Amino acid sequence: MTLLAPEAEARTVAPGGRLMLALFAGRGAFRATIQLAPLALAVPWGAVRFAEYAGAVGMSMWTVFLASSGEKAALKLVPRARRLGGGIARVVLRVAAAPVVLAAAAFAAATVLDRGRVLAAALLWSAALGLLQVAVGLHRVRGHLRTDAVTFAAVTGTLLTLSALTFHFAWPPLWQLNLLAATALAASAVLLWRLPPGWSVAGRADRVAGPPRRRRMARLVLRTCALLGLPELVASLCLAVCYVVLGIAGHSTESGPFYVAVTLSGFCSAALTYLFRLRQPATSLRLRGPAGRTGRAKARRVLRVAMLLCLPGLPLVLLLEPGTLLLALLTCLETPLFALVAYAGYLVENTDGRSPRLTAASATVGLVVAAAAAAVLVPHAASSGAMAALLLSAGASALSLDVGLSGWWRRPARPLPQGPGDGSQRHGGT
């Protein structure tokens, strides 16, 4: 296949101290804006409108991870198969664009029917944010890390301005979500325009490789997108399930306190996830081949600590009255537990092409446990029960992943199809 241009080489070294600080400052300011601005907007909106906003965003955040699932795949695969970078980029961009198109269609339908417009706008905002993360990730894997910091600094400034206008004029949540989605889509369009021609959504396929090889590569990239993106997608679905159960159980007003607790926990998890993204190209190369055993062994040690953190959760729900204290204690347990499980999954999924099946399976177990626990605990403990469901979900994921790692059934992973003279896949899987 066509060689990547020199400027398109994947970056496999973690950024230095100053650049890391700039990246975290840009992304941290963005995260603080999208999560704290709604808390300030609760003043002009009131409790009912804020609960409507929080419920819509909570039920739609899974779209972010559905759209951005390709980012992890690109950060893992491109360093291992640099000559195929353009083909990988085209596949992951199409994966990211599909939810945006579907969300836009849903928003148009909701507008015509005049029903569910806030939820549809939240879906479009979340899908657009996922596309933005993929676009930034592709620039980052090409070595343009400053693009990440500059983009999110500019988007943050725009969102702060829009939030200030919403606060001043008391615009409804629907208007705020529409403005957020428009901002994310505009930023994504600029970033996609700046990608090399071979990396664009509509880029032409490489002429060197025949259609069979291109189809095989596309299948492998799609499989990697699905497996690597599933844990984060399922984690967001767990949140959505909790919001849905809160509404069904008659605790819709408790969506506000639950949103605040999840926001505080989300700062830590978002920072950790971003750190993983920055280091993933280097980690993907470091843990391939025999070094993967060391990564899996370390993951098992982390998982055992995580399971210990889960143990106090259920006794607290049974002994304490539902309220702010119980919600705070459960949040303090869930935050480090989720971080440990995420770190263990990060180590496992970057070893070879078959390990992501274990992380995907453990995440699915966590979703089942979250749904069952929410159905039992939320009617009794409202927002505290929802947080307890998330805690039990993370504990179940940790146990499932540890069990999967203990019964290792490994076979050699299938490598990506290689371009002429590309030996970068010789010692590693997908």
Return the pLDDT at 16: 61
Cα 170 to Cα 277: distance, rounded to the nearest angstrom:
37
Of the ranges 25-34, 155-164, 206-215, 352-361, which is most confident?
155-164
Of the ranges 56-65, 368-377, 402-411, which is most confident?
368-377
49: closest CA among 245, 255, 262, 260? 255
Cα 129 to Cα 134: distance, rounded to the nearest angstrom:
9
Return the percentage of the chain with pLDDT > 90, whole number: 37
Mean pLDDT of 139-168: 90
Return the pLDDT at 15: 61
138: closest CA among 94, 100, 92, 181? 92
Q: Do residues 295 and 359 lie in contact, with contact meaning Cβ atoms separated by under 8 Å?
A: no
Q: Tell me: pLDDT of 82 over 70.
A: no
Mean pLDDT of 289-316: 88
Mean pLDDT of 335-345: 92
Predicted confidence band of residue 17 (pLDDT cuts 50, 70, 90): low
Give the number of other CB atoms < 10 A from CB of residue 48. Answer: 11
Return the pLDDT at 331: 93
Predicted confidence band of residue 80 (pLDDT cuts 50, 70, 90): low
Average confidence score pLDDT of the chain: 82
Return the pLDDT at 137: 87
Return the pLDDT at 269: 81
If you search the block for the tokens 């206008």, which residue do you land on? 165
Mean pLDDT of 342-346: 90
Q: Tell me: pLDDT of 429 over 70.
A: no
Q: Tell me: pLDDT of 4 over 90.
A: no
Q: Could you write out the DSSP letters of every residue in 334-368?
A: HHHHHHHHHHHHHHHHTT-SSHHHHHHHHHHHHHH
55: closest CA among 303, 383, 341? 383
Return the pLDDT at 430: 34
21: closest CA among 271, 198, 243, 219? 271
More confident site: 352 or 173: 173
**pTM strictly above 0.85:** no
Q: Could you read off the pLDDT of 380-428 as tens digits, one per residue?
A: 888 899 999 999 999 999 999 999 888 754 444 454 444 443 433 333 3
Mean pLDDT of 181-205: 81
Return the pLDDT at 410: 47
Q: Tell me: pLDDT of 173 over 80.
A: yes
Give the number of other CB atoms < 10 A from CB of residue 115. Answer: 10
Mean pLDDT of 23-38: 84
Predicted confidence band of residue 48 (pLDDT cuts 50, 70, 90): confident
